[in-house]
Amino acid sequence: MVKLTLRERESIQEAVRRFRKLVERSGLKKEMRRREYYEKPSEIKRRARLRAERRSRRGSMMGRVGL
């Protein structure tokens, strides 16, 4: 949960800006978007596998650059 306490002499605009940054950093917005629709477990696994493949491909490409 994100908590924001108003600072002394802080305007509403500044507080809202700070709140948005806090929400973004906490990952709350990303989590809400992820939970917006139901995703089958097989789709979750598939997405994780593709992400791992991309990560390994990127790592191998970066290794070749240093040679």
Do residues 63 and 56 touch, judged by C-beta distance below 8 A?
A: no
Mean pLDDT of 50-63: 87
Confidence of residue 4 (pLDDT cuts 50, 70, 90): very high
pLDDT, averaged across the chain: 90
CA distance 45 to 62: 26
How many distinct structural domains can be found in the chain?
A: 1
Residue 56 lies in a domain: yes
Residue 43 lies in a domain: yes
Residue 18 lies in a domain: yes
Tell me which residue range forms the domain holding 55: 12-65
Mean pLDDT of 18-31: 93
Residue 45 lies in a domain: yes
Residue 64 has pLDDT above 70, yes or no: no
pLDDT of residue 66: 53
Residue 65 has pLDDT above 70, yes or no: no
Residue 3 lies in a domain: no
Sign of the C-alpha dihedral, residues 37, 39, 45, 47?
negative
Mean pLDDT of 43-61: 92
Residue 22 lies in a domain: yes
